[in-house]
Each structure stands twice: as C-alpha cells, then as structure tokens.
Amino acid sequence: MGNAMTPEQTVMQLIIGAGQAKKLAFDAIQAARDNHIETADQLLEQATKALAGAHQIQSDALRADAATQQQPTLLMVHAQDHLSMAMTAMELGREIVAIYRRLSENTNDK
C-alpha cells in the first residue's frame, strides 16, 4: 500500500499524461505540415501511448472512487477535462496528419 498515490498525485499524473499526449498530437500536426510524415506518425504513436497511460490512471481513480463511494473532486473533474481535450486533440491530429499525407502523395505523383 506504500506505493498508492494520493488523490492530488493522481490528479497531477492525469493532467501531465493528458498534456503530454495533447502536445505530441500537435507536434505531429506540425511535423506533417512540414512534410515530415514519418516523424508525424512516430509522434502520434507516442501520443497514443501517453494517452493510454493517462486513461489508465483515470480508470484506476474512478474504480477506487466507486469502491469507496466517493464523489469526484473538482480537481479530478478538471483533470478529466484535460483528458477529454487530449483525446480530441488526438483524433484531430490523426485526421490532419492523414490530410497532409494525402496532399504529400498527390504532390509527389505529379
């Protein structure tokens, strides 16, 4: 039990993981815009891993709250909002990189 995170640590880890995923997704968009499609794909893969880690933290926290019948704190709701924004950034990142990929392929075909 000594390794259990405090609620504040859990919230911070969730925000950090979500923030990292969001940043990597936007970095992927920038790489694709600069025609570095392979780099963009690698960044999206890293973002996916960061998002999965954050999502696991959220799932564990929600499970713990349900077991103790605790209501989520305002800080946890805030952290979940960060996770939601990161998930949206990931979806948009994938779509925008795909658009840049198609543009790059069409340019190279000419």
Cβ-count burial 6-16 (b if 16+ within 10 Å, e if not): eeeebbebbbb
State phi, psi for 44 to the nearest 5 degrees: -65, -35
> Is residue 26's pLDDT more than 50?
yes
> Is residue 24's pLDDT more than 90?
yes
Q: Is residue 2 part of a domain?
A: no
Q: What is the total count of domains within the chain?
A: 1
81 is in an annotated binding site: yes
Q: Which residues contact 89 (CB under 8 A, 6 or more apart)?
A: 21, 22, 25, 26
The CATH number of whichever domain residue 41 belongs to comes to 1.20.58.80
Q: Is residue 89 part of a domain?
A: yes
Q: Give me the pLDDT at residue 2, please.
A: 52
Q: Is residue 101 part of a domain?
A: yes
State phi, psi for 35 to the nearest 5 degrees: 65, 30
Q: Is residue 4 part of a domain?
A: no
The pTM assigned to this predicted structure is 0.89
At 63-94, the pLDDT tens digits run 888 888 888 889 999 999 999 999 999 999 99
Q: Is residue 1 part of a domain?
A: no
At 39-55, the pLDDT tens digits run 999 999 999 999 999 99
Hey, which residues are catalytic here?
Answer: 78
Q: Give me the pLDDT at residue 1, please.
A: 44
